[in-house]
Amino acid sequence: MLTQIGMPTSGDTVLRLVRRLPLPRRPAPQVLGVDDWARRKGRTYGTILVDLERHRVVDVLPDRSAATLADWLRGHRGIRTIARDRSTEYARGIGLGAPQAVQVADRWHLLLNLRQMVERWLAGVHGRLRRLPPTVGQPAGPARRTGAFPRSQGERVASADSRERKKALYEEVRRRHAASEPLLTISQRMRLARGTVRKYAQAESFPERAVQAPAHSILDPYLAHLEARLAAGCENARALWRELRDIGFPGTSMQVRRWLGQRRSAPAKTTPRRYREAQPAPVPPDAHAGAPALPSPRQLALYLTRPRDGLTNEERSAIGRLERDPDAAAVAVLVRRFADLVRGSCIGGNAVVRAPIATFKRWLIDAQNSSVSAVATFAAGLQQDAAAVKAALTTPWSSGQTEGQVNKLKLLKRQTFGRAKFDLLRRRVLLAA
């Protein structure tokens, strides 16, 4: 850019001048937002500090340790409120550097931790829950394929081999865990992610891969016509495709042929003789009319933590099926109560919960007395951070602004292809603010 305006110079000179620029002097913040950012994702992290009242970055720290944050806070007196995530390291640093400040736990992170807890527990009992009977009287939705098209022989063999390998790992993790071997040691010796080891160790049975419902297809609006023609005895895929094309179907005949291949009463006339005996048995007309598979633990956790009035009929049916298990029903009630409490407390000035502190105390007692250990452990963690959680339910501050500033910091970092030294990146962030 300097060359274009007649001031040619080298890149080193530009960087030297940037490093010499004086940093802006700003008033001391009273409400501070604290969050981490990745210098190198998964390896090294820093800390960003944001003035939540003036919407500006105050400083950027080279790591996310409690000692570094405490040293910075000791040099900046007058901070009344600090919004943070659920990090115990940040909580300890704030307690050491600014003990007079009110710590506010971020509401989004509270809901995130709730969903993660539910997902981990569901992953452990999903094998048992999948055997629950479906709900009766589920409202019929629009016509859709209830199963994916059949896989090739090679894909089925590869899938079976993959399942056997994972099952062997699961059994080995369970054996080591039963022998009181620490999860971290198992992770290191078996070279598995800690999350995978934890999931296998807590699972009551081998966690089968969740069955995914097929996505919406361009064939779905024409399924009623196809079913009617099939019931009338038409098993000519080409003829069916021509009929669909005349009424607006934009797809090819292959999609109709694959749909019909699972429903033929006899092999097609064009099927080679050597393949006729290998044809699979015909599928009865009502074989695909059964209940859909239970959603994955992640999907179920999302359904439980979402507002109930925003769920679809299919999602409500999945939750109804889940609640046939006594433990799952108890967990669902506690999860909904806490999610409603967080969403209804001092958000946008439209608080729905009139006594959030008393409601939170009652929920803590019920959760700590729960027969499900995952819920009791989650409640114990909230009890240790009770002051910050209560502040989250009664004050308007959160880490939303801070997350936005982290996103801006990432943009500046990537403009230098991630190779800028920390001092240059810090100056760019502070000067851009």
CB atoms within 10 A of CB 394: 14
Q: Report residue 267: phi and psi, to 5°.
A: -60, 150
Cα 372 to Cα 124: distance, rounded to the nearest angstrom: 12
Tally of residues, the chain? 433
Amino acid at 197: V
Note the pLDDT tens digit of each residue in 294-351: 889 999 999 999 998 989 998 999 999 999 999 999 999 999 999 999 999 877 666 7
Q: What is the pLDDT of residues 192-217, one digit of tens each?
A: 999 899 989 988 888 887 666 667 78
pLDDT confidence bin for 288, thresholds 50/70/90: very low
* Residue in the structure block whose two tokens are 């292959």: 254
∠ Cα 406 411 414 (to 5°): 120
Q: Check: CB of residue 375 under 8 Å from CB of residue 363.
A: no
CA–CA distance, 174 with 312 (Å, rounded to integer): 37
Euclidean distance between CA atoms 166 and 197, whole angstroms: 12
Which two three-digit tokens encode residue 60? 């950027």
3-state DSSP assignment of residue 59: strand
User: Rounded CA gap, 402 and 419, in Å?
Assistant: 23
Distance of CA 61 to the CA centre of its chain: 28
Task: Return the percentage of the chain with pLDDT > 70, whole number.
Answer: 88
pLDDT in tens, 367-416: 999 999 999 999 999 999 999 999 999 999 999 999 999 999 999 998 88
Is the predicted pLDDT of residue 153 greater than 90, yes or no?
no
pLDDT at residue 282, rounded to an integer: 45
| Spatial contact of 399 and 106, defined as CB atoms under 8 Å apart | yes
Q: Over range 146-151, report the average pLDDT.
A: 62
Please check the confidence at residue 149 and state whether its pLDDT lies above 80.
no
Percent of the chain at pLDDT > 90 equals 57
pLDDT at 2 over 90: no
In this structure, the number of other CB atoms found within 10 A of the CB of residue 415 comes to 11
Q: For residue 163, give both structure tokens.
A: 């399942």
pTM: 0.77
Tokens 């099952």 appear where?
Answer: 167
Q: Rounded to whole angstroms, how far apart are CA atoms 33 and 55?
A: 10
Are the C-beta atoms of residues 173 and 186 closer than 8 Å to each other? yes
Please enumerate in sequence order all residues whose Cβ is within 8 A of that of 158, keeping only pairs 6 or more positions apart, or say none: none
pLDDT tens figures, 36-65? 999 988 889 999 999 999 999 999 999 999
- Other residues' Cβ atoms within 10 Å of the Cβ of residue 33: 29
pLDDT at residue 134 above 70?
A: yes
Considering only CA atoms, give the Rg of the chain. 29
β-pair partners for 102: 81
Evaluate the CA torsion angle 125, 128, 132, 138 in order and state its sign.
positive
Q: Identify the weakest region by mean pLDDT among 88-102, 124-138, 178-192.
A: 124-138
- Assess contact for 363 and 356: CB atoms under 8 A: no
Mean pLDDT of 216-244: 89
Q: How far apart are the first and last CA of the chain?
A: 22
One DSSP character per residue, 39-52 reads: EETTTEEEEEEEET
**Are 80 and 101 in contact, with CB atoms under 8 Å apart?**
yes
